[in-house]
Structure 1
Amino acid sequence: MKSFFKIFLASFVALVVFCLIIFFVLVGIVSGLTADKKVKTGGTAVLVIDLARDYPEIGVENPLARLSNKEDGDIPSLYDVVRLINHAKTDTAIKGIYLKCSSNANGMGNSQEIRNALINFKTSGKFIYAYGDVITQTAYSVGNVADKIYCNPKGGVDWRGFAIQMAYVKGLLQKLEIEPQIFYAGKFKSATEPFRETSMTDANRLQLSVLLSDMYGRLLQQTGERRKIDTATLHQYANDYRIQQAADAVTYNLIDGLKYDDEVKEEIAKKLGGIKLDKINFVTLQKYVNAVDYKRDGRDKIAVIYAQGDIIDGKGDRDRIGSATYRELVRKARLDDKIKAIVLRINSGGGSALASENIWRELSLARKAKPVVVSFGDVAASGAYYLSCNADSIFAQTNTITGSIGVFTMLPNMQKFFNEKLGITFDGVKTAPQADMLSATKPLTPAQRIYMQNSVDSIYLTFKQRVAEGRKKNVGYIDSIGQGRVWTGARAIELGLVDRLGGLDDAIACAARMAKVSDYRLREYPEPHNVLEMIFGSYEKDATHSAMKAELGEDGMKTYQTIKRVKQMMGVTQARLPFEMTIE
C-alpha cells in the first residue's frame, strides 16, 4: 500500500509540474502574440501586392505562423487590402506599388474593387509597376492599371477571350441507376441542370452568354482605356489568337516590355533616384498590415457584418453563413444603441431558402431601427439576394454576379442503385402514409411529386414577394427578370435589383450619410477569436484540410467539396447558383 501511495504521489506531482510548465508556455505564447510587434517600413518602401493570393471577405489569422515570423502568416481581408492601399496613398514611407500579376485568385467583383483602389492610389502621383511570369486574363484585368506592366521574356500573356465550362453528371447517374428527383421554379434556374441534362439548355446558354459577354466587354473597355486601343481591335486580337508568345504582347501594345523580376526591381530603384536595390524595403501586404494603423477611429459606430460562403440552416462559421449565427450578429448590432447603421458585406451564391428567409427577417427588423446598407462582392445571388433585397440601399461591382431569383429542391431515388448494384434492400414500418416520403431508398409517388413541386412554387412566390416589396416593384415584373436568371451588377442597376455601383467603402460612406454621422469607427463582425481559439482552431482546421488535400489532390478536393455540398442540398429547398461555374 505504501508503495502505491508513493507512486501515486510522484505521478500527481509530475502531473502538476507538467501542467504548470504548459501554463507558462501558453502564457509565453500569448504574450508573444499580443506583444506590440510593429513591422518597420523604413523611409523607402514599396508595397508588394500579390494577386495570386485569395483575399477573403473575412481575414485569416495564423498565430503560429506569426510567432515564427513566417512571411505568409496572416492573410488580410479584401477590405483590409483596400484600406491598406488607401493608407499607402498618403504614407510617405511608401513610394509606390509592385503588383505581382501572374495569376489572380480573386473573383471578378473583388478584382474590380482592388483595381479601383489602385486607380485611386495613382492620383497621389506614386508609381505602380506590374510584373508576371505568365499573365492570365483575370490578372491582366487588374494589372493593366499600372504605369508599366512587364512580362517574363520566356513567359506569356493570355489573351484568348473568356469561357465558362460546366460538368454534367446525368449520364453517370444513369449508369449508376440513380434517379435525381428534381423540382424547380424558374426556367433559368440551372443549379440542377447538371443532374437532369447532358448539355446546356437554351435558357442557360442564353443567360451565360449574356453574362460572359458583359464581363468580357468590361475587360475590353478597361484595357482599351489604359492601352489606347479600340475595343474592336482588342477583340480581334483574341479572335485571331495573335498573342501566342510574350513578344507578341509587346508588339500589340498589351504590355510595356519583357523583363525578369530582378530587372523590374532595378528599374524601380532607378525610378527612386538610382538608390541601391538592397536599400528598398519591398513590404508585403501581410507585413504592412502589422506596420500601420489604417482603421478609422471615431465617436459613433457603424457595424460591418461580413458573410461569405454557402447559406445554411443553424450555426455557421467564417466560411458558411449560418442562419442562427447571422441572426444573432444582426440582432446584436440592431439592439446596440451605439451602433448607428449596419452594413452587410456578402459574397455568396446562396443556399437554404429557409435560412435566407430567417436572415431577411432579422435585417428587416434592423432596418426599422437604423439604416441597413448591403455591399455585394464577387457574387450575391439567389439566397444571398433574397436576404439582402429589403435593404435601404444595395451596392455592387460592375461584374458582380447577382439575381438568380428562383428555387429548387432535389431528392435522389437510389432504390435501383442499392438493389441492383450493391444487392441491398430495405424494408420497414411507419405510422403514417407519408412518414418515409424523404427516403432515398424508393421513388416518390405521383402525389408526393405534386406536393414537392407545390412547395417549391410556394417558396418561389414568397421569394418574389420579398424582392417586390424591398425593391418597390410588382411581383409580375420581378418574375419577368427572375426565373432563376443571373445578371451582372451593371445590368442589375438597369433592372432595379441594385441601387449603385461601388465597393464596401462606398456602402459604408452611404450608411454614414443615412445615419447622419461623420465621426465614426467600424465595429466589424464576426469578431476575432481569442488567442487560444486562434491557435488550436486554426491548427485543427489547417491540419484536417492539409491531410485531405494530400490524399485527394486538388481535383479530388473539389470533387469531395461538391459531393459534400450536394449531400447538404438533399431534401432542402435551395436558393442558390450553379455550384461550379469557373470563368477562364
Structure 2
Amino acid sequence: MREFFKYLFASMLGFFLSLVIVIVVFVVFIMVAISSIDSDKTTVVGNNSVLFLDLDQAITERTPKNPFGNFPIVGGEEKDGIGLSDLLRGIARAKTDDNIKCIYLNVSSPNAGFATMREVRNALIDFKKSGKQIISYSEVYTQGAYYLASASNKVYLNPEGALEFKGFSSELTFFKGTLEKIGVEMQVIRVGNYKSAVEPFILDKMSDYNRKQVTAYVGGLYNTFLTDISDTRKLQKDSLYNVANDYKIREPQDALNFKMIDGLKYKDQILEELKRLSSRSKKENIISVSINDYIKNNTTTGSGKDKVAVIYANGEITGGEGSDNTIGSERISRAIRKARLDDDIKAIVLRVNSPGGSALASDVIWREIVLTKKVKPVMASFGDVAASGGYYIGCAADSIFVQPNTITGSIGVFGLIPNFQNLMTNKLGITFDGVKTGKYADIMATNRPMTQGERFIIQNELNRIYSGFVSRVADGRKKSKAYIDSIGGGHVWIGTDAVQIGLADRIGSFNDAIKAAAKKAKLKDYKVVEYPDVIDPLKSLLEESTDKIKTYYTKQELGENYMLYQQMKKVVASSGIQARMPFEAVIK
C-alpha cells in the first residue's frame, strides 16, 4: 500500500508540474501575441513635441525584439535596447520633423562602444544644423556619457552631481597564479608576438609587446575622445588634457568653471527650459516621445526594386548557426549567398562588430564575400571592433570604412590547450589509462602534457593558417604578403592608424558605407534591406531558455565578478585554432 501511494503521489506531482509548464507556455504565447500587435503600432507624435533620448540603454547593431520584458524566468531581465541603424535614422528624421522641437538627452553611463557612440554623436551634431536645440541633463556623467552629451547645445549637471573626467585606463586580469594553485597548465601555441590573448594564462603581467599595443590602443581612443569634445565645446585640446590629467573636476562647480558644462540646474529647471524650447506655457505639460517609440515610425527609404543589402555580422565567430549576438558561419554565409543571388540587390554592405573567433568559421564567411565581390560591389563597415577573425571576414571587401576609434587588425592565430593532469592526479586523485591505434590518436588530449611531436604538428598547422590569413588580407588589400606580415603578428590598430597603413580605406560612418556601395553600383534610388532575418523571439526562448535562466542566476551570484567567470569559461570552450582579438580591455 505504501508503494501504491508513493507512485500515486509521484504521478500527481508529475501531472501538476506538466500542467504548470503548459500554463507557462500558454502565457508566453499570449505575451508574444500581444507584444507583436503592440510592436506593429505606429507612434502618434503631437505638435511641439520633445524627443527624449535615453542613451543609457544598450545600443546594439539591430533593435532587439524581446516580448518577454520583466519576465526573468525566460530571460526578460535584460532591458530593451535600440539598434544603431534605427537610432541614427530616428535622429535624422527628427531633424526635418516639424512636430519635434528639440531633443532632451539623458545619459549617465552609456552601454555602447566608443565607435558606436561617435556615430550617435555625429548624428546629434547633424541634427543641430536644423536650428533645433539639444539639451543634456544628468545627475552623474561618466566619461562616455559626457562624450555623448558634449555634442549638445547645452550641457547641464545637477548642483550636487558629478562629472567624471580623469583620462582613460585599461586593466587586464591575469590567471596564471590561480591556475598554478589548482594545478592547471595552459599550453600555448601562437603566431605573432602581439597575439596576446593567451597571456593572462601564462604570465602575471603584460608582455612588452602587449603593453606597447595597449598603450597605442588606449591612447588612440583618448585622442579621438579629446579631439571631438574640443571641437563641440570650443575648448583647447591641451586644456582638456590638463583638466583630466590633474583631476581638476572634483565638484560640480569645477565643471562649470572649466566650461565643461553650461549650468548647474535641478530637474524642474530643465523642464522649464524644455517647455520654452517646445513652445509650451508654464501651466502646460511637456509633450514628449521616447526615441524607442519614435523609431516605430521609421520607414524604408527609396523606391523601385533596386536594393542595397546590409548584412550584420555581430559578436564572436563560431561554426554553425550562431544567433543575433554571435556570428554563425552557416547563418551569415547563407545570408551573403542569398543577397548575392538576388538580382534586385545591387550592392552589399557587411557590417562587422566582432573580436573574432574560430579561424575556420572566419574563412567560410570570407569565401562568400570573395564570390560576391565578383558579381556586385561589397563594402565593409567596421563598428567598435573588427579584429582578428572580425577583420578576416571583411578584408576582401572593395572598401573598408572605420571610425577613428574602431579597433581592428590583429592578424594572427593561436591555440590554447589546457593540461589538467596535475589537477586531476595530484589534487583530485584521478588517473587515466587507455589504448590507441596510432601515435597521435589522442592528440589535443587535456589530461597530459603535449609531446614535442604534437607541438610541432600543431605549430605547423597554425603557421599554415596564419600564412593563409596573411595571403587573404594581401589579396584583398592589394599588398604584398611581406608587408601584411610586417603589420600583422597579432598587432591591434586603431582606426586612424589602420587607414594610414592600408588595412582600411577611409574614416567613415555606417551610412557612408551604404552610400558608397550604392554609388559603386550606380544607384540613384534604392531601398536598404537587412540580413539575416532577426531570430524569432519565441524560437529563441524555446531553444535558449535554459541558458538564459542559468546566466541570469549566475550574474546575480557573481555580480561584478561575472566577467572573470566569462573569460575562464571562454578559454575552456575555445577549442580549435582561434583568430581572436588578443585582449579584452575594459576602458575606465
Q: TM-score, normalised by structure 1?
A: 0.91
- 1:266-345 equivalences under 5 Å are 266-276=272-282, 279-290=285-296, 292-299=297-304, 300-345=306-351
From the superposition, tell whether residues 453 and 28 of structure 1 become closer, same or farther in structure 2 (CA, over 3 Å). closer
3-state SS of the aligned residue for 1:216? Answer: helix
CA deviation string 1:235-279 (max 9, x = no partner): 111222111111111111111111122321211112333524753
3-state SS of the aligned residue for 1:289? Answer: helix
Instruction: Report what 1:557 is aligned to.
Output: 562
**Per-residue deviation, 1:554:** 2.8
Q: Does 1:53 align with 2:57?
A: yes
Cα distance between partner residues in 2 of 1:277 and 1:117: 33
Instruction: Report what 2:109 is aligned to.
Output: 103
Instruction: Report what 1:127 is aligned to.
Output: 133
Cα distance between partner residues in 1 of 2:232 and 2:464: 49
Instruction: Report what 1:578 is aligned to.
Output: 582
Cα distance between partner residues in 1 of 2:414 and 2:52: 44
Structure 2 residue identity aligned to 1:30: A
3-state SS of the aligned residue for 2:567? Answer: helix
3-state SS of the aligned residue for 1:63? Answer: coil
Cα distance between partner residues in 2 of 1:277 and 1:365: 64
CA deviation string 1:339-374 (max 9, x = no partner): 111111110000111111110001100111111111
Instruction: Report what 1:461 is aligned to.
Output: 467
**Per-residue deviation, 1:490:** 0.8
Cα distance between partner residues in 2 of 1:100 and 1:121: 16
Report if aligned partners of 1:57, 1:307 keep a CA contact under 8 Å in 2. Answer: no
Q: Does 1:234 align with 2:237?
A: no
Which stretch of structure 1 is more off in the superposition, 72-81 or 474-483? 72-81
CA deviation string 1:272-304 (max 9, x = no partner): 3352475322221211122x2343242211111
From the superposition, tell whether residues 244 and 328 of structure 1 become closer, same or farther in structure 2 (CA, over 3 Å). same
Cα distance between partner residues in 1 of 2:139 and 2:571: 37
**Per-residue deviation, 1:132:** 1.7
Instruction: Report what 1:30 is aligned to.
Output: 33
From the superposition, tell whether residues 464 and 155 of structure 1 become closer, same or farther in structure 2 (CA, over 3 Å). same
From the superposition, tell whether residues 583 and 78 of structure 1 become closer, same or farther in structure 2 (CA, over 3 Å). same
Q: CA RMSD in A?
A: 2.6
- The unaligned stretches of length 5 or more in structure 2 are 1-17
Cα distance between partner residues in 1 of 2:283 and 2:313: 42
Instruction: Report what 2:181 is aligned to.
Output: 175
Q: Does 1:43 align with 2:77?
A: no
**Per-residue deviation, 1:173:** 1.2
Report if aligned partners of 2:336, 2:372 keep a CA contact under 8 Å in 1. Answer: yes
From the superposition, tell whether residues 440 and 277 of structure 1 become closer, same or farther in structure 2 (CA, over 3 Å). farther
Report if aligned partners of 1:179, 1:414 keep a CA contact under 8 Å in 2. Answer: yes
Which stretch of structure 1 is more off in the superposition, 263-272 or 159-168? 263-272
Cα distance between partner residues in 2 of 1:96 and 1:39: 17
Paired residues, number = 563
Report if aligned partners of 1:296, 1:522 keep a CA contact under 8 Å in 2. Answer: yes
**Per-residue deviation, 1:37:** 2.3
CA deviation string 1:91-127 (max 9, x = no partner): 1111111111211211011011101111111111110
Report if aligned partners of 1:404, 1:484 keep a CA contact under 8 Å in 2. Answer: yes
Instruction: Report what 1:8 is aligned to.
Output: none
Q: Does 1:160 align with 2:166?
A: yes
Structure 2 residue identity aligned to 1:476: A
Report if aligned partners of 2:86, 2:298 keep a CA contact under 8 Å in 1. Answer: no
Cα distance between partner residues in 2 of 1:429 and 1:278: 84
- 1:133-212 equivalences under 5 Å are 133-212=139-218
- 1:356-375 equivalences under 5 Å are 356-375=362-381
3-state SS of the aligned residue for 2:213? Answer: helix
**Per-residue deviation, 1:73:** 7.5
Which stretch of structure 1 is more off in the superposition, 217-226 or 494-503? 217-226
Cα distance between partner residues in 2 of 1:539 and 1:176: 33
From the superposition, tell whether residues 94 and 389 of structure 1 become closer, same or farther in structure 2 (CA, over 3 Å). same
Which stretch of structure 1 is more off in the superposition, 294-303 or 398-407? 294-303
- 1:474-513 equivalences under 5 Å are 474-513=480-519
From the superposition, tell whether residues 134 and 467 of structure 1 become closer, same or farther in structure 2 (CA, over 3 Å). same
3-state SS of the aligned residue for 1:184? Answer: strand
**Per-residue deviation, 1:153:** 1.4
CA deviation string 1:166-205 (max 9, x = no partner): 0011111111221111011111111111112111111111
**Per-residue deviation, 1:569:** 1.2
- 1:10-89 equivalences under 5 Å are 30=33, 33-34=36-37, 36-65=40-69, 74-89=80-95
From the superposition, tell whether residues 278 and 76 of structure 1 become closer, same or farther in structure 2 (CA, over 3 Å). farther
Report if aligned partners of 1:82, 1:114 keep a CA contact under 8 Å in 2. Answer: yes
Report if aligned partners of 1:63, 1:534 keep a CA contact under 8 Å in 2. Answer: no
Instruction: Report what 1:217 is aligned to.
Output: 223
Q: Does 1:393 align with 2:399?
A: yes
Instruction: Report what 1:9 is aligned to.
Output: none
3-state SS of the aligned residue for 2:60? Answer: coil
Question: Of 444, 461, 484, which residue of structure 1 is paired with 2:450?
Answer: 444
3-state SS of the aligned residue for 2:249? Answer: coil
Report if aligned partners of 1:373, 1:393 keep a CA contact under 8 Å in 2. Answer: yes
Report if aligned partners of 2:157, 2:261 keep a CA contact under 8 Å in 1. Answer: yes
Instruction: Report what 1:517 is aligned to.
Output: 523
**Per-residue deviation, 1:515:** 1.1
From the superposition, tell whether residues 325 and 273 of structure 1 become closer, same or farther in structure 2 (CA, over 3 Å). closer
Structure 1 residue identity aligned to 2:582: P
Which stretch of structure 1 is more off in the superposition, 226-235 or 35-44? 35-44
Cα distance between partner residues in 2 of 1:140 and 1:327: 39
Structure 2 residue identity aligned to 1:335: L
Instruction: Report what 1:435 is aligned to.
Output: 441
Structure 2 residue identity aligned to 1:47: L
Report if aligned partners of 2:91, 2:127 keep a CA contact under 8 Å in 1. Answer: yes
Cα distance between partner residues in 2 of 1:342 and 1:285: 28
3-state SS of the aligned residue for 1:304? Answer: strand
Structure 2 residue identity aligned to 1:43: N
Structure 2 residue identity aligned to 1:90: T
Structure 2 residue identity aligned to 1:329: A
From the superposition, tell whether residues 196 and 31 of structure 1 become closer, same or farther in structure 2 (CA, over 3 Å). closer
**What is the identity percentage for the equivalent residue pairs of Structure 1 and Structure 2?**
43
Cα distance between partner residues in 2 of 1:40 and 1:73: 24
Report if aligned partners of 1:44, 1:279 keep a CA contact under 8 Å in 2. Answer: no
3-state SS of the aligned residue for 1:343? Answer: strand
CA deviation string 1:487-523 (max 9, x = no partner): 1111111011111111211111111111111221122
**Per-residue deviation, 1:540:** 6.5
Instruction: Report what 1:421 is aligned to.
Output: 427
CA deviation string 1:185-240 (max 9, x = no partner): 11111111111211111111111111211211122222222222211121111222
- The unaligned stretches of length 5 or more in structure 1 are 1-14
CA deviation string 1:365-389 (max 9, x = no partner): 0111111111101000000101110
Cα distance between partner residues in 1 of 2:329 and 2:255: 49
Report if aligned partners of 2:192, 2:489 keep a CA contact under 8 Å in 1. Answer: yes
**Per-residue deviation, 1:63:** 2.4
Instruction: Report what 1:11 is aligned to.
Output: none
Question: Of 369, 373, 379, which residue of structure 1 is paired with 2:385?
Answer: 379
